[in-house]
Structures are given as C-alpha cells and as structure tokens.
Structure 1
Amino acid sequence: MRETWLSENQRLVSQDNFGFDLAAVEAAAKKHEAIETDIFAYEERVQAVVAVCSELQAERYHDIERVCARRDNVLRLWAYLLELLRARRARLELSLQLQQNFQEMLYILDSMEEIKMRLLTDDYGKHLMGVEDLLQKHALVEADINVLGERVKMRLLTDDYGKHLMGVEDLLQKHALVEADINVLGERVKMRLLTDDCGKHLMGVEDLLQKHALVEVDINVLGERVKMRLLTDDYAKHLMGVEDLLQKLALVESDINVLGERVKLENAYAELVHLAVERRKRLEDSRKLWQFYWDMADEENWIKEKEQIVSHKALEADVSAHEPQLMSVAAVGDELISQGHFGADKIQERLRDILSQWNHLLDVVSLRKNRLDAAVRYHQLFADADDIDNWMLDTLRLLKKHKDVTDELKNYANVIQQLKQQVRSRLAAIDSRHAELAELARLRKQRLLDALSLFKLVGEADAADQWIAEKHRMLDTMLPPNDIDDVEIMKHRYDGFDNEMNANASRVAVVNQLARQLIHVEHPQAPRIQERQAALNGAWSALREKAESKKDELKSAQGVQTFHIECRETNFRILESSMDPAHWS
C-alpha cells in the first residue's frame, strides 16, 4: 500500500503542468503547497514501516532479509519522492519568477508606448512661455524614461532562462540509481519464483502461499517503479511520455517568448530614448526661435517707447546704451539663419523690420535735438522772469504768515501757564496716593505674616494637644497588674512612653518660643496666643504629673509583686526544710 502510494505521488510530482500565465502558475504553486502538506503528513507512516521492521528484526523474524529489503525499498522511494518534490518546487519557483518577469516586461512596454505617444506630438509651442513649459514637461518625460531604463536593466540582469530544465547529468544519475534498484529487486523476485520447493505438508504449503503473495506484491511494486522510470527519464537518455515532452516544450517556448519580449523591450527602450533626444533637440530649436521673437518684440516696444520720451538727453543715453543689445539680438538671428533654422525666412524678415525701425529712431533723435536747442534759448528768458516774480510773491506770503504765528504764540502763553500749574498739583496728589498705597501694602504684608505665624502656632499647638490627649488615654490603660511579668511588660511600655515624651518636649518648647516671639512683636491676637500657650502648658504639666503618678504606681506594684515573690520563696524554703528528714535529725 505504501509503495503504491509513493509511486503514485512520484508520478504526480513528475508532471510540470504549471500553466502559461502568472495566474495559472500561482494556482499551481498553491496546489504544490497542498501536495507538500499531504506528502509530509505521510512521513509518520513511513516511520511506522521502519519501526515495524526494527521490531521484527529484534524478534529475529525468519524472513527478515525480505522485510529489510522492503523497508529499504520504501525508504528509497520516500527519499526519491522528496527529491522529486524539491526539484518540482525549484522548477515551480523558476516558472513563477519567469511569469513575473514577463508580466513586468509587459508593464514596461505599456509605459513605453504611453511615453512614446507623448513624444510623437507635433506641439513645439506657440510662444516662448509655451516652449519653456514644454521643456519642463519633457524633462519630466526624460526622468520617466530614466526610471524605465533602470527597470529595463534590472529585468535584463535578473532574467536567467537556463534554470527551467534540470541538467542531463543529474537526470542520468537518478536514472542509474532507479535502474539499479529495479534490477536488484527483479533478481530477488526471479530467484524466489525459480525455486522447486512446493511444500511437503499442509502447513508448509500455506506458508509458501503467503510468501508467494508477498512476491506478487513485490512484482506489482517493481511494475510501478518501471512505469515511474519510463515517465520520469530525461529525453536526452530515454524516450519520454508525449505529455511530459509537450510540457517541457511549452517551457522552452516560454523561454523563447521571453527572449523575444526581451529583445522587443530593448528595441522599444532604444527607440524611446532616440525619440526623446530628437524631441529635446526640436524643443531647443523652438525655444531659440521664440526667444529671438521675444527679443525682437522687446526691441520694437523699446523703440516705440523711446520715441515718446520727452527728455532728449535720457533718450540719447538709452539709445547709446541699448545699441549693443540690439546688435547682439541681430547676431543671434544671423546665426540662426546661417544654421539653416526652419524659421529662417521669418527671422530674416523680422531682422529687416527691426533694423529699419532702429534707423528711423536715430533720425528722429537727431531732428529732435536740433529743434530742442532752438526752443531752449527762446524759453529761457521767459522762465527767468517768471522765477523772479514767483520769488517775490513767496517772500510776501512768508512775512505775513510769520506775523500771524507770533500773535498766536502770545495768545497761548496764559493757557500754557495754567496747564503747568495743573500738572504740578496733579503730581503732588499722585505722590500722596502712592505713599498711602505703599503704607497699606506694608501693613497688609505684616498682617499676612502675623496670620501665618498664628496659624503655624495654632497648628503646632493642636498637634501637641492631640498627642497629649492620646498619651492621657494610654496612661489610663496602664493599670497595675497582679503578676510580676505583667508588671515588667507594663514598665517596659512606660519606659517607651517616657522616651517618647522626652522627644516630644521639643514641640511644646517650639510652641512656647513662637508664642513669646509673637507677644514680643505685639501681635494683634496676643491674648488668644497667651490663652493658647497657657492651655498647652497646663495640658503638658498635667501629662507630666500623671506620668509621674503612673511611674510611682508601677514602682509600688513592682515592689508589692517582688515582696509576694520573696514571701512565696521563703514559705517554700520553710516547707522544704520541714519535709527534709535530715533536718529533724
């Protein structure tokens, strides 16, 4: 049963029906994982065969050699199945990588087609700003092309199409191993069938029938292994099944398709780079043309603007300074014409128009200069006379205005004096209020400090009162016992209380010191402070008196208990002496 299952699974994992697209290969990968799970779950049954063989070997089974041979055969089939499984996994991963690379190539080709359509447009701009915008967009396209170039390089570097088929040498070695196993098993079966032993009694015949049934099983296993060898042999050494040949032929065709896509990808990328270079060159030429038009328009506008300038000197200066720029632009136009630019005719016409306007501007400047010189001399006399009249009128207006200002200053003298007096009185009132506010702030601060000191005194006194009341209650619980041990315990408690009382005496001293300080500085609550101090000192004195009284009681109780003990000891010695016979003698 196990050998048949192993043979069937060997036949199953020997089939490379992975499919021819990414989805099919991914589905085959999931199916292969399920096959691996089933096969690995069968390992326990193989180990069970080994365990049974070990038990039979330990029990010295009479036909242990045949059992061991069957075990070795199962282990060999199992190892061969695992090897086939690993090889199929490797081929499946390579096929998956192949389909992924092929899919990536298709994506890259689609991206190239999209960029190619953008490069084949005839739009080179209708003005300079449009050309600049197109150049910026083209720079982005070139960046996309560079990114695609990196992706193409990665695809071409990572593709490896020689790993889809196993090496012929490896297949021959596997075939030799399988053939040797089949020969050994066949010889064993043949030797068992050629024996003349047909049994000498009924039990012997039944035993031979059981052995013959096992031989028939071996023959079936041998047949399955022969079928497996015929199905899995490499076509370079033996004939293969038609289905396996078609599968491997499909892998080869996939390699050929990928190689074709690889060449197509390289050609498409090279064409894309060429189109990008050509479009950039045309855009640069278009930018030069529209830059020339732009400069010519600026020159024309400048000439028209200068014709309207009133200042002749400014006009002459601008013309002299602008002439080199105009000649530079004209030189650029001549250079474009000499290079055979596609807009050479329009450039030539534009140059003639601008130079004609420039010469006309120079003639206008010269004529205007002569007319202005004559007009200057004519109007100079009238200008000087008008200046003198205007100066005299301005002087008269200034004298009248000065008299008005002087009268106004005299009228405001009394008002200014009154304001000065009001300011002085207001400052005195502000100083008085400030001093009063400072005194109130000082008094409030002192009251706050007094209140803080009072609260601190009250807090310390309350804490001391609470402690004294607690110790009063403790002393009330310390009653003289009737046992010497209890007296010692009570005395130990009193000693602890006495130490604690000595330690807390400083708290009462602190309260008295604070009270004396507050009374000394004439605190507003001095009577209350004295009353609180007297109450605390009275409670403290009462506690001390009560403690001394309790101490005397404990000493008295200790003396009484000691006397009782001595009396008991004396009675015991007297009784002991009276009972001793030696004493009577």
Structure 2
Amino acid sequence: LRPQDNFGYDLPAVEAAMKKHEAIEADISSYQERIQVVVELALEMESEGYYDSRRIGAQRDNILRQWGLLTELLAARRARLEQNLALQKIFQEMVYMIDWMEEVQALLLSKDTGKHLLEVEDLLQKQALLEADVAAQSERVQALNAAALAFAEREELAARKGPGAARVQEKLRAVRLRWKKLEEATGLHQQRLQEALNLVQFNADTDDLVAWLQDAYRLVSSDDFGHDDYSTQALARKHRAVLEELEQHRGAVLALRRELGRLAPAQRQAVEVQIRVVEVEQLYGEVAEVAVLRRQWLQDALAVYRMFAEVHACEGWLDDKEQWLRRVEVPEELDEVEV
C-alpha cells in the first residue's frame, strides 16, 4: 500500500486495480473487530494490574499506530486509484470523441455534392443534421476540456510532473486540434454544398427558361393566321396571352444574371455557363422580335378578313338591288311612272 501509481495505462486495467483494492479493503476491514478485541483485552489486563501491563500497553499502542497507518495508506491509495480511474475515463472519453470527430470529418471531406437539384437538397438536409449533431457535441467537448484541465492543473500533478499531466495535456491538444479541423471541414463542406445548390438551381432555371422560350418560339413563328375573321380573332387572343407570359418571363431572364453573380468564381467564369446565359438572352430577344411581327401579321390578317367581310356585304347588297331592279316593271302611262 505504499504510494504507487502503477495502476495500469488504460481504463480496464485501472478498473481491475480498483476491484483488487476493494478486495484488500474488505480483507483489512475484517480485522477491525479483532483489533478492537485485542485493545479491550489489553485495557482489561492493565486495569487488573497485570504484572507486565507496561509492555502490554506498549504493544497495544503499537498495534493501534500500525492500524492507523494501515487505514491511512488504504484511504490514500483509494484516493489515488479513484483519481486515476477518473483520469482514465477522461482519456477514454477523449479517444471516443477523437474517433467520432474523425468519422464525421471523413464524411465532410466527401467530394460528392450531388448531380441534380433533389440530390443536392437531400445532401443539404443531411448536412443540417450533421451540423446539429456537431453543435450538440460542442458542449460535451467543452465539458471534457474543462475536466481535463482540472486534472492537469491540480497541484499534485503539477508538483510531481509525472506522466499523468503530460498525457492530459497531450490528449487535450489532440482534441482541440481535431475539433478545430472538424469545424473548418464543416464550414467548407457547407460552402461546397451551397455552391453546388446555386449551380444546379441556375442550370434548372436556365433549362426551364430555354424549354419555355423554345415552345413560345414555336407558337409565335406559326404561319397559321386564321381563315376568317373569327378564327383570326381567336389566334390574336392566344397571341396576346403569349405576349403577357413573355413579359412575365422577362424578369426570370434578367434574374439569370443575378444568379450568375451568386455562383462561385470558378463556376461563374466557366465558358459553358457564360454561353448559356447569352443563349437565353438571345433566344428571348428572338422570341420577342418574332412575337411583335406575328402580332402585326395577325392585325393585318384581321384587317384583310374584315375588308373581305365588307366586300362580301357590299356584293350582297348589290346583288339584292340588282335582283330588285330586274323585277321592276316599267309602266307605260306617265301617271304610273310617277307613282
């Protein structure tokens, strides 16, 4: 029971040493009643005036002194053992935290940022859950650091400057360094995912615009102007609706430049991205130009069909008058002519 710190260098070894110590305590405790009996017997013999009571008293005092020393050593050893056990638990917790941080960091170092919008959004949701887990572990890391510092700064460890203090400091530095790297990796991964989201959103918006503009171009470039006034008016109403939608999509076309500005420099400066924006703007301009021409052509066609309708009306009126004139009988008498 002399002061020794060789309790082992990991948690299972220290726990085994604690069990052995508890067995020693139980064994020593079983002698307490016997010690008490010996003391009481010595006192009784001393009170009865036994002839060698002085020697008996000296032996009694020696037994009590040895017993006191033994119990002090036992208590001191238990204190050191409990301290070492707590320290090993901190070490194990540090190892668990470092392993957990390495696993999380391996996930954060993944280059997979998704290939389409739904996949990127799914990765962002997973990233949010991962960040929440990291934030929840932050308090645990802070508590672990505080406990480790408390052990490292204790006067006993500082006075002896044994391997315990050095190991605590070493493990503490490892945890802090790993946590710092984890925070950096979390921020970088979040940035990569956000950049990927901006890019796929830009591509999706561009694809939608191109698809709509191509469909609109098909409508405004049609050579169907109707075959009469009614059908031409129907086509004109549809064309006005297309013009309204075209005006509404002007904002989306202009917004492409703003989305382009939110992209990462490498993405923004890519040739294919620049070309896509220019192509959309040119396509919108072509559709708008052809739409203006079609509106004019429909107006001209409507004017022609209205003129045809008036001509047909005039021809009908003339036919009616001609028929009436043919049916008119010219009277022979002057009075009848005047009537």
Residue aligned with 1:81, SS: helix
What is aligned with 1:23? 12
Q: Is the 8 A contact 2:113 2:196 kept in 1?
A: yes
1:45 aligns with 2:38: no
Amino acid at match of 1:26: E
Cα deviation 1:105-163 (Å, max 9, x = unaligned): 11111111111111111122222222222211111221222233222111111221355
Amino acid at match of 2:259: V
Q: Is the 8 A contact 2:18 2:81 kept in 1?
A: yes
Amino acid at match of 1:314: A
What is aligned with 1:344? 269
Amino acid at match of 2:174: K
Distance of 1:78 and 1:289 partners within structure 2: 80
What is aligned with 1:112? 101
Correspondence for 1:323 among 246, 250, 257: 250
Q: Structure 1 residues 167 and 265 mapped into 2: Cα distance closer, same or farther (>3 Å)? A: closer
Deviates more, 1:71-80 or 1:59-68: 59-68
Distance of 2:153 and 2:243 partners within structure 1: 82
What is aligned with 1:460? none
Amino acid at match of 1:275: A
Residue aligned with 1:353, SS: helix
Correspondence for 1:354 among 277, 280, 304: 280
How do residues 153-302 of structure 1 correspond to structure 2 at under 5 angstroms?
A: 153-159=142-148, 160-161=151-152, 165=156, 252-302=162-212
1:101 aligns with 2:90: yes
TM superposition shift of 1:288: 1.7
Distance of 1:269 and 1:68 partners within structure 2: 65
Correspondence for 1:363 among 289, 293, 305: 289
Correspondence for 2:114 among 107, 125, 130: 125
Residue aligned with 2:9, SS: coil
Distance of 2:63 and 2:304 partners within structure 1: 132
Cα deviation 1:331-374 (Å, max 9, x = unaligned): 332x247x734342232111111011001101210121122123
Residue aligned with 1:342, SS: helix
Q: Structure 1 residues 14 and 38 mapped into 2: Cα distance closer, same or farther (>3 Å)? A: farther
Q: Is the 8 A contact 1:56 1:64 kept in 2?
A: yes
Higher relative contact order (CA 8 A, sep 6+): 2
Residue aligned with 1:281, SS: helix
Cα deviation 1:197-221 (Å, max 9, x = unaligned): xxxxxxxxxxxxxxxxxxxxxxxxx
1:85 aligns with 2:74: yes
Aligned residues: 290
Cα deviation 1:495-548 (Å, max 9, x = unaligned): xxxxxxxxxxxxxxxxxxxxxxxxxxxxxxxxxxxxxxxxxxxxxxxxxxxxxx
Residue aligned with 1:125, SS: coil
Amino acid at match of 2:189: R
Q: Is the 8 A contact 2:157 2:165 kept in 1?
A: no
Q: Structure 1 residues 304 and 121 mapped into 2: Cα distance closer, same or farther (>3 Å)? A: same
1:72 aligns with 2:61: yes
Residue aligned with 1:28, SS: helix
Correspondence for 1:332 among 259, 270, 287: 259
Q: Structure 1 residues 133 and 166 mapped into 2: Cα distance closer, same or farther (>3 Å)? A: closer
Deviates more, 1:140-149 or 1:354-363: 140-149
Q: TM-score, normalised by structure 1?
A: 0.47
Structure 2 spans left out of the alignment, 5+ residues: 220-234, 313-339
Q: Structure 1 residues 135 and 50 mapped into 2: Cα distance closer, same or farther (>3 Å)? A: same
Structure 1 spans left out of the alignment, 5+ residues: 1-11, 169-247, 386-585
TM superposition shift of 1:304: 2.0
Q: Is the 8 A contact 1:94 1:163 kept in 2?
A: no
Q: Is the 8 A contact 1:303 1:361 kept in 2?
A: yes
TM superposition shift of 1:303: 1.1
Aligned-residue CA RMSD (Å): 2.5
Correspondence for 2:215 among 305, 319, 322: 305
TM superposition shift of 1:270: 0.3
What is aligned with 1:532? none
Amino acid at match of 1:50: V
Amino acid at match of 1:344: Q
Distance of 1:162 and 1:340 partners within structure 2: 49
TM superposition shift of 1:167: 10
TM superposition shift of 1:14: 4.3
Q: Is the 8 A contact 2:109 2:185 kept in 1?
A: yes
Q: Is the 8 A contact 2:46 2:53 kept in 1?
A: yes
Distance of 2:283 and 2:144 partners within structure 1: 62
Q: Is the 8 A contact 2:7 2:81 kept in 1?
A: yes
Q: Which is higher, the Rg of structure 1 or of structure 2?
A: 1
Cα deviation 1:54-108 (Å, max 9, x = unaligned): 1111211223222212111111111111111111111111111111111111111
